[in-house]
Structure 1
């Protein structure tokens, strides 16, 4: 007579134990890699604090404000991570990150300053000969192993992303009954917040560079592209179809989160502006509608119809894929802008309080004996958009680019009529 174990027999117990053993092996592998990379990370931080921060402070090669702009809170980060490393080497991962996460404000300060630090460093290397020579001498030390200062200064932001994945793996392979499970879960949340902050800062910086590039492409200062809350989406050539059957004219269009800018190329014979554009019209997207027009291009591309409160455009492209891309980009920008405007409008309605209290029925005089009262009206006119002055412009190749995650533009940044530039 053969014996087959039931659902709660030895086979089920063995399967559960095997799963736990797999979790433990994965956890041990992740923990070992975390400790090894943390040791290397702390060594690199020590190179920066010892051979740059401390020596520069002693020599006085850089002014204190410039030195702090470049290195920010990296010395405090080094101190915090040395304490974390001691816990990790002793196997106290939960306790180590539980004490590490309240100190993440040093990382927040650092990541918020990272782009400014890079800019100040470039300026000093260009203008300060003594600092340029000092940097080269320090980087030639064998301890640096051909690492450049620019690379070392990027390590804290990279390390935050690494912590996020290390902690996720440790948490997934730690039993909920383990006291470290809650500590590691809290650490995942805290580190993920800083990781998102780094990504948001990077997107904002990239967007600023794109706005500066477009501003530099436009001749003169009449057309202002740099504005608070404005996001670059894409650009490209489209042909304008006139109403009265004349020939189509190619125009350059720049799409932003709150407006569509139409421009024409300057004369190629111009001695200084041959590669630039002149802004012609800025169409606000707040009250715009866009739709495809079929049957007019014989399956070669198509037409887009854009309707504004005081204007209407017919735009044509012979490239079907490019036309579809424009349609999706315009539709998405308009939808986000109008959705945000609706949310703000409803919030204002909910927050609006009555102008007068309800009258008492016993003490209210008759309407014939009550003199007329002038009510205080609350103006609902939105604030005018404040355009930021042009910032330092960066040189970037003028090419078509898109931002995948375009944040929603505030409703105050759009107007309801076409602006003729």
Structure 2
């Protein structure tokens, strides 16, 4: 049991320090010395519930440390944990609100970075302290899962007849649904994060591309046939749940004092909403005969009101995967419309 409690204290210390970084390097300056830079709306969206969770973490850490110290002076090997953990369940609302608001927070942060003094301040602080605000904001979403695992460990070492045992079991039972809810949200948030990654590397960066509900699905290299008889051109395509982007990948070398680095961006050439696609199909190739050598393999064709496109995949069968995913997106986009 001591090992489980020790792990809980050590990990909570690191977690609390992480939340303090958000407070000290971003929230506090933007609430005081750099208040003139912030937009109240952006500030509230990005840092929603973080302060409540931070204060609880400090309180939990203090209680855990106190109870562990008290236990060393007691003849009985266990001590009451109900007072330590009961508020954790009541904090569920803050974690639910944080997870629900996270996609909007990440999108707001990405937009702010490029276009406002508020965003420039965040970029400056990240560079100065070698941290990433978006990564710090995501950390609480996995902490509840860790709480459940460690409290379950404490339950294992708590005798059945001990007065704390029923309380700890009930606490785990209450926290498991919250942990599962956050796990589902994290999956959605990952898709939002990937969508933002695509946006950051696009040239130009259409601001309307960042929107709630848009999620990353797939990316890959294809060869694009612009018109019949023309040579195919290599393209890099990104599929979101409601739009397909056809881009040209550009790599550039960056020289620094320490080493050479390579960066890349993607020049946006076609942005095609899935609801505008009228037809998509696999280009079937005869297994034998003269035509089998003339028709490109691993291709699919898309038609919209403005143009028709043929895309060729590099791997066998990959074109069918693209068609299935795009058709699924088309169906959902039209249902939503």
Task: Specify whether residues 54 and 234 from structure 1 end up closer, same or farther in structure 2 by C-alpha distance, changes over 3 A only.
Answer: closer
Task: Specify whether residues 252 and 87 from structure 1 end up closer, same or farther in structure 2 by C-alpha distance, changes over 3 A only.
Answer: same
Q: Compute the displacement of 1:56 (Å).
A: 6.1
1:362-410 Cα distance to aligned partner (Å, 9 max, x none): xxxxxxxxxxxxxxxxxxxxxxxxxxxxxxxxxxxxxxxxxxxxxxx33
**Which of 303, 306, 317 is matched with 1:324 structurally?**
317
Equivalent residues, number: 287
8 Å contact kept, 2:4–2:153: no
Q: Which residue of 2 aligns with 1:187?
A: 175
Q: Which has the higher strand share?
A: 2
Q: Could you tell me how far apart the structure 1 residues matched to 2:87 and 2:171 are?
A: 10
8 Å contact kept, 2:89–2:171: no
**Which of 144, 152, 170 is matched with 1:163 structurally?**
144
Task: Specify whether residues 231 and 117 from structure 1 end up closer, same or farther in structure 2 by C-alpha distance, changes over 3 A only.
Answer: closer
Q: Mind listing any 5+ residue stretches in structure 2 that lack a counterpart?
A: 68-78, 250-265
Q: Compute the displacement of 1:315 (Å).
A: 4.7
8 Å contact kept, 1:288–1:309: no
Q: Which residue of 2 aligns with 1:346?
A: none
Q: Which residue of 2 aligns with 1:31?
A: 5
1:122-181 Cα distance to aligned partner (Å, 9 max, x none): 8547766xx96xx69xx9xxxxxxx92845784453244143134135437735953112
Task: Specify whether residues 53 and 285 from structure 1 end up closer, same or farther in structure 2 by C-alpha distance, changes over 3 A only.
Answer: closer
8 Å contact kept, 1:69–1:120: no
8 Å contact kept, 1:260–1:282: yes
8 Å contact kept, 1:288–1:308: yes
Q: Could you tell me how far apart the structure 2 residues matched to 1:59 and 1:282 are?
A: 44
8 Å contact kept, 2:223–2:233: yes
Q: Could you tell me how far apart the structure 1 residues matched to 2:53 and 2:141 are?
A: 12
Q: Determine helix, strand or coil for the equivalent of 1:238.
A: strand
Task: Specify whether residues 325 and 76 from structure 1 end up closer, same or farther in structure 2 by C-alpha distance, changes over 3 A only.
Answer: same
**Given the two structures, how large is their TM-score scaled by the length of structure 1?**
0.50
Report 1 or 2 for greater relative contact order, CA contacts < 8 Å, sequence distance ≥ 6. Answer: 1
8 Å contact kept, 1:241–1:314: yes
Q: Could you tell me how far apart the structure 2 residues matched to 1:194 and 1:84 are?
A: 20
1:251-309 Cα distance to aligned partner (Å, 9 max, x none): 747444456567899xxxxxxxxx956549877557534364253666x9824354769
Q: Determine helix, strand or coil for the equivalent of 1:288.
A: strand
Q: Which residue of 1 aligns with 2:76?
A: none
8 Å contact kept, 1:98–1:187: no
Q: Which has the higher helix share?
A: 2
Q: Could you tell me how far apart the structure 2 residues matched to 1:53 and 1:93 are?
A: 32
Q: Could you tell me how far apart the structure 2 residues matched to 1:164 and 1:329 are?
A: 34
Q: Which residue of 1 aligns with 2:92?
A: 104
**Given the two structures, how large is their TM-score scaled by the length of structure 2?**
0.59
What is the correspondence of 1:92-241 to structure 2 with a 5 Å cutoff?
96-110=84-98, 112=101, 114-115=105-106, 116-117=108-109, 120=112, 123-124=116-117, 148=129, 150-151=131-132, 154-155=135-136, 157-171=138-152, 174=155, 178-179=165-166, 180-210=168-198, 213=201, 216=204, 229-232=213-216, 233-240=218-225
Q: Determine helix, strand or coil for the equivalent of 1:237.
A: strand
